[in-house]
Amino acid sequence: MPVVVIDRLEDAVPVARALVDGGLPAIELTLRTPVALEAIRAIATQVPEILVGAGTVVAPAQAREALDAGARFLVSPGATPSLLSAMVDTGLPFLPGTATVSEVLAVLEAGLTEMKFFPAEASGGAAFLKAISSPVPAARFCPTGGITAATAGDYLALANVGCVGGSWLTPADLLRDGDWARVEALARAAAALR
């Protein structure tokens, strides 16, 4: 899952095209810049072949804003009760964020089995997910945070990992230079990982 920060609105569509051309079917557009919602809207309307979602949903109101912009899924780094309820209210699929066993259990108690594990590398990495697969087998994760092309495979090899996310596919320098061919190549390499 490419976790993308868009600073210039005009980059949104070429980035999405490069990712989908490289074989990645989804993009998590983070709500970290003033143009993020417009970028989601542009991708949703101009690159319908990629599934665009909103990432970095940290306040309840952002869930509805992302839905209105055309996001088809939501990702949050955390999972407060009000955030969970706002994301449920959109009717969209979403990944709440977890980093500890108690947070994972709280999300399971809310009736959700798919979640983000963030920040993955700083929170114990693949070893953490492997260790909790036996006591907490119901939870499935999308780890993100500090993962690279070199370490993604360690996560993807785990039975409780559904996908892996990160910004290594769309580094800031490639976006700044408009190097869409290189983004496509990174996407192709990632698509071949599993």
Binding site for ligand 3PG (CB under 6 A): 3, 30, 55-56, 77, 118, 144-147, 165-168
Which residue, 160 or 167, is less far from ligand 3PG as judged by CB? 167
**Which regions of the chain does DSSP assign to beta strands (E)?**
3-4, 26-30, 51-55, 74-75, 94-95, 97-98, 114-117, 140-143
Just list the catalytic residues. 28, 116
Which residue, 127 or 137, is less far from ligand 3PG as judged by CB? 127
Which residue, 11 or 109, is less far from ligand 3PG as judged by CB? 11
CB of 11 to ligand 3PG, least distance (A): 17
| Those residues with Cβ within 8 angstroms of residue 127's Cβ, 6 or more apart along the chain or in another chain | none
CB of 167 to ligand 3PG, least distance (A): 3
Residue type, 29: L
Cα separation, 78 vs 116, in Å, equals 8
CB of 135 to ligand 3PG, least distance (A): 25
What is the CA angle 17-18-20, rounded to 5? 65
Which residue, 22 or 145, is less far from ligand 3PG as judged by CB? 145
Query: Which residue from 19, 12, 10 is spatially nearest to 43, judged by alpha carbons?
Result: 12
- Contact indicator for 116, 157 with CB cutoff of 8 Å: no
CB of 31 to ligand 3PG, least distance (A): 10
